[in-house]
Amino acid sequence: MRRNGRLIAADIQGQIDTIRSVAQYEGLSQTCRERIDKAERVVPKMQATIEFVSGYVHKQVRQLDLSPPVSYVLHAHLIPSFYLDRVAQSRTVQAGEPLRELAHNRPKSWPRCSSVPAPMWKGETGTSP
């Protein structure tokens, strides 16, 4: 099932609600609770961004004219793992390790980000989507 921005935003809101409950239960500081409120306020903008990026990626993958099973694997596994790998690269080795674990938790026969040709996950101009 392809997820859309609305569903993802609802999931994020659910996580924020859980975090808020835990923060209140644990008696976290007012500053901490304000940061949770701030995160909640950006969810609508995140939804719009998710919808834009999702549409762009879907269009790019559709142009590859892949079979439905291959397209599914690309959307459900490879692309998310590429994103996790890219975010992990922006962290310290120690802080990025959990993300790298998630990114690389896929069959060993699947390519790693570094072994996939750039045009597959970058725009034609060589810039990231």
Calculate ∠ Cα 73-79-81, nearest 5°.
100
| Cβ pair 81, 104 in contact under 8 A | yes
Q: Are residues 111 and 75 in the same domain?
A: yes
Given a cut of 90, is residue 15 above it in pLDDT? yes
CA-based end-to-end distance of the chain: 22
- 21-71 pLDDT, tens per residue? 999 999 999 999 999 999 999 988 888 888 888 888 889 888 999 888 888
Tell me the C-alpha distance between 104 and 106, whole Å. 5
Tell me the C-alpha distance between 1 and 110, whole Å. 21
- If one counts the domains in the chain, the total is 2
Given a cut of 90, is residue 20 above it in pLDDT? yes
Q: Are residues 59 and 95 in the same domain?
A: no
Higher pLDDT, residue 128 or 68: 68
Q: Which domain holds residue 25?
A: 1-63
Q: Are residues 97 and 118 in the same domain?
A: yes
Q: Are residues 40 and 2 in the same domain?
A: yes
CA within 13 Å, CB half, 120? 15
Q: Are residues 103 and 77 in the same domain?
A: yes
Given a cut of 50, is residue 89 above it in pLDDT? yes
Q: Are residues 30 and 80 in the same domain?
A: no
Q: Are residues 14 and 37 in the same domain?
A: yes
Q: Are residues 40 and 21 in the same domain?
A: yes
Tell me the C-alpha distance between 87 and 82, whole Å. 9
Higher pLDDT, residue 22 or 123: 22
- Mean pLDDT across the chain, nearest whole number? 79
Percent residues over pLDDT 90 in the chain = 24
Q: Are residues 106 and 80 in the same domain?
A: yes
Q: Are residues 51 and 4 in the same domain?
A: yes
Q: Are residues 45 and 81 in the same domain?
A: no
Q: Which of 63, 88, 105 is the last residue of a domain?
A: 63
Mean pLDDT along residues 68-97: 84
pLDDT value for 21 = 94
